[in-house]
Amino acid sequence: MTILDGKKLSDKIKTQIKHETQLLKQQGITPGLAVILVGEDEASKVYVGMKEKACQASGIYSKVYKFPQTISQDELLNTINQINNDDTIDGLLVQLPLPPHINTTEILQAIDPSKDVDGFHPYNVGRLVAGLDSFAPCTPLGVMELFKEYGIDVKGQDACVVGASNIVGKPMQALLLNEFATVDICHIYTKNLAEHTKRADIVIVGVGKINLITADMVKDGAIVVDIGINKTKDGKLVGDVDFKNVSKKASFITPVPGGVGPMTIAMLLKNTIKAAKLHLK
């Protein structure tokens, strides 16, 4: 069994990004990332803080727009419009979730697709599904980078993606299909989940349920990627996979923490550099 070490790979990618940032600065370009944070959600504040810290370490200009929970949709749209027209900003992301009175779809659609480093705009979603160059969502993109780093060729492999969200499951399916994997995608209404996961060469899960995937649900030698992040009653961070027992059967497996999580931040930086290069052209 081999651990897919996202922390180690993300550090390697961040070093590459720091070098690319320096090269861009020599051409008079400082890559810039803007993050919009609405409300006081603790998890969101932690994520935004991590992104800000990673930008600083990489030499990327970072600006965080913090708004109260009560901000109106029009105010938020006006801010996005301002950032869209700000030449010092190459990437823009809106930290989710947003308050219930805000229409998330409209907010994401308002982002300039060339600055959509989260890959959530319908334009980029469509290009991804069509197999065209686009900004892909950072978490599934990070999974693909892990596969590449560890020499895992998904072509012809049977993959089962558990979770069908727009942020992880659906783009994960598209990225795998683009690399010629055969993809089975499951969700909350799937009948007998184990039937799907048992026959998969690759199992990728991200739904937010502790121990959803147990050892009897995966075949010997399966590649298991755990995108889930949960807190136990004693405050320990765990994923959706019963790591202790599943790892005994898996050929490759991601830990939580230290697996996919660090890769998400690294891919955000990579997408920001990509946006800066596009704007330079």
Is the bond leading into 257 cis (omega within 30 degrees of zero)? yes
Read off φ and ψ for residue 158, nearest 5 degrees.
-90, 115
Name the catalytic one among 5, 14, 90, 95.
95
Residues 6+ apart with CB under 8 A from 175: 128, 136, 140, 141, 143, 144
Name the catalytic one among 5, 90, 118, 242.
118
Annotation marks residue 242 as catalytic:
no
Annotation marks residue 51 as catalytic:
yes
Query: CA-CA distance, 281 to 276, in Å (whole number)?
Result: 9
Using the structure block, give the residue that is written with the tokens 């998969």.
Answer: 200
Annotation marks residue 158 as catalytic:
no
Three-state secondary structure of the chain: CEECCHHHHHHHHHHHHHHHHHHHHHCCCCCEEEEEEECCCHHHHHHHHHHHHHHHHHCCEEEEEEECCCCCHHHHHHHHHHHHCCCCCCEEEECCCCCCCCCHHHHHHHCCHHHCCCCCCHHHHHHHHCCCCCCCCHHHHHHHHHHHHCCCCCCCCEEEEECCCCCCHHHHHHHHHHCCCEEEEECCCCCCHHHHHHCCCEEEECCCCCCCECHHHCCCCCEEEECCCEECCCCCEECCECHHHHCCCCCEECCCCCCHHHHHHHHHHHHHHHHHHHHHC
Name the catalytic one among 51, 115, 270, 274.
51
Residues classed as catalytic: 51, 95, 118
